[in-house]
Amino acid sequence: MDFLSELSHCELCEHRCRVNRLNAETGVCRATLPVVASATLHAAPPESYTVFMAGCNYKCLHCQNWTISQYPDNGIEQRGYLDPQGLAEECVDQLNSFAGKRMQADRIFFSGGEPTIHLPYIEKVVEAARKLEPDTKVNFDTNGFMTAESLKRVLKFTTSVTFDLKAYHDDVHMTLTGASAMPALRNAEYIGKYAKDQLWEYRIVVIPKLNENEIKPLTEFIASIDPSLNVCFLAFRPNFALERHPGADRQLMRRCVDIARQSGLENANWAGYAGIAGTVANIDDEMKKIYTSEATRLAGSYAFYAGCQRHPRNCNLCDVNQNCQVKKYMPRIST
């Protein structure tokens, strides 16, 4: 498996762990060989055959796909390592199937987890798929925390990119995800400026009280790149470490679209299930001393209750990132 040789010194994302994943060493994402969580026809735009890759370089408190992203630490079974040629054949067959055609599924959509952590594998699958069908379209669904080199590789083979932004301010981003906002903002700017035609949309999950105040700076940032770029706000649903936190309601989602328009964006909308009830947690006294804003104090408290031992959160510098309790967190409620 020569195509995986760079995993012997992994620097695919900005954690730049430089571990030998081929020798079972693990970095922040905890991934070794590429593992496919599942694959299915998916009706959400862009309609696709979606391949969910297991594992992630973030540890988002609100993760909707936590059963996949927290692999391997949560012990939840995934489909496993699949031969790239076999997966390519499966993708092409499914896109050409009656159900695929009826759905108008027109591309392979790599999601996760975070597909960047398996980039050489995905490149191999795409290469094999295009040998079967040269016009195969590909979407890459990313949190954007990749190196500049990885981004250029992604842009070489993708038809479209769906790009998640979690927060603008570093302290809020760190507390929500465990990682810095800077790489994602840098890469968002690059794609908006130099690969606009490949950007399907930026996606922003709106979480009441936690990143509400991030919407204005995020939309101003995007508008400063190009006011015509697409932005879709997704209503947060209670999940993972935020399993009891209230979902975003329709009023908040409409307000986000208004803020985006006031920021100058021409193409902003929202989607998702809004208005799921919940209860805001109490802020822990220790977290009040460590974090400075209401949003980070609250996010830090949720992280603390889920077992996070390092505050301020920073998974890269964390002494226990190879035995992280947050990655093992099992919510009782999923929505």
With binding defined as CB under 6 A, does residue 13 bind ligand SF4?
yes
Site for ligand SF4 in 121-140 (CB under 6 A): none
With binding defined as CB under 6 A, does residue 144 bind ligand SF4?
no
Provide, rounded to whole angstroms, the least separation between the CB of residue 315 and ligand SF4: 3
Q: How many residues bind ligand SF4 (CB under 6 A)?
A: 27
Q: Which two tokens stand for residue 334?
A: 């999923």
Q: Are strands 48-53 and 107-111 parallel, antiparallel or unpaired?
A: parallel
Spell out the residues 6+ positions from residue 244 whose beta carbon is closer than 8 angstroms to its own.
Answer: 238, 278, 279, 281, 333
With binding defined as CB under 6 A, does residue 28 bind ligand SF4?
yes
| Residue among 16 and 244 whose Cβ is closer to ligand SF4 | 16
Amino acid at 69: S
Please, is 13 exposed, middle or buried when counting C-beta atoms within 10 Å of its C-beta (0-12, 13-18, 19+)? buried
- Of 9, 16, 153, 261, the one binding ligand SF4 (CB under 6 A) is 16
- Of 151, 231, 235, 315, the one binding ligand SF4 (CB under 6 A) is 315
With binding defined as CB under 6 A, does residue 259 bind ligand SF4?
no
Q: Could you say which DSSP state residue 13 is in?
A: B
Q: Which two tokens stand for residue 172?
A: 């809020």
The span from the CA of 93 to the CA of 102, in Å, is 14
Provide, rounded to whole angstroms, the least separation between the CB of residue 226 and ligand SF4: 29
Site string for ligand SF4, 49-88 (x = CB under 6 A): --------x-x-----------------------------
Provide, rounded to whole angstroms, the least separation between the CB of residue 247 and ligand SF4: 23
Q: Which segment (89-97, 134-142, 213-221, 306-314) binds ligand SF4 by CB under 6 A?
A: 306-314
Among 18, 15, 54, 63, which residue's Cα sits nearest to residue 184?
A: 15
Q: Which segment (94-102, 122-130, 210-218, 304-312) binds ligand SF4 by CB under 6 A?
A: 304-312
With binding defined as CB under 6 A, does residue 309 bind ligand SF4?
yes
Amino acid at 273: Y
Whether the Cβ atoms of residue 17 and residue 28 lie closer than 8 Å to each other: yes
| Residue among 46 and 55 whose Cβ is closer to ligand SF4 | 55
Q: Residue with the closest Cβ to ligand SF4?
A: 27
Q: Where are the alpha helices (DSSP H) in 60-211?
A: 66-69, 84-96, 98-103, 119-132, 148-157, 170-177, 182-194
**10 Å Cβ neighbour count for 22?**
16
Provide, rounded to whole angstroms, the least separation between the CB of residue 113 and ligand SF4: 11
- Of 10, 39, 105, 287, the one binding ligand SF4 (CB under 6 A) is 10
With binding defined as CB under 6 A, does residue 326 bind ligand SF4?
yes
- Of 63, 105, 117, 252, the one binding ligand SF4 (CB under 6 A) is 117
Amino acid at 198: Q
Q: Which two tokens stand for residue 84?
A: 């790239």
The span from the CA of 38 to the CA of 51, in Å, is 6
Provide, rounded to whole angstroms, the least separation between the CB of residue 166 and ligand SF4: 14
With binding defined as CB under 6 A, does residue 176 bind ligand SF4?
no
Measured N-to-C along each axis, helices 119-132 and 84-96 cross at an angle, to the nearest 10 degrees, of: 50
Among 113, 92, 88, 107, which residue's Cα sits nearest to residue 34?
A: 113
The residues of the shown chain that bind ligand SF4, judged by CB under 6 A, are 10-13, 15-17, 19, 27-29, 31, 57, 59, 117, 178, 308-310, 313-315, 318, 320-321, 324, 326
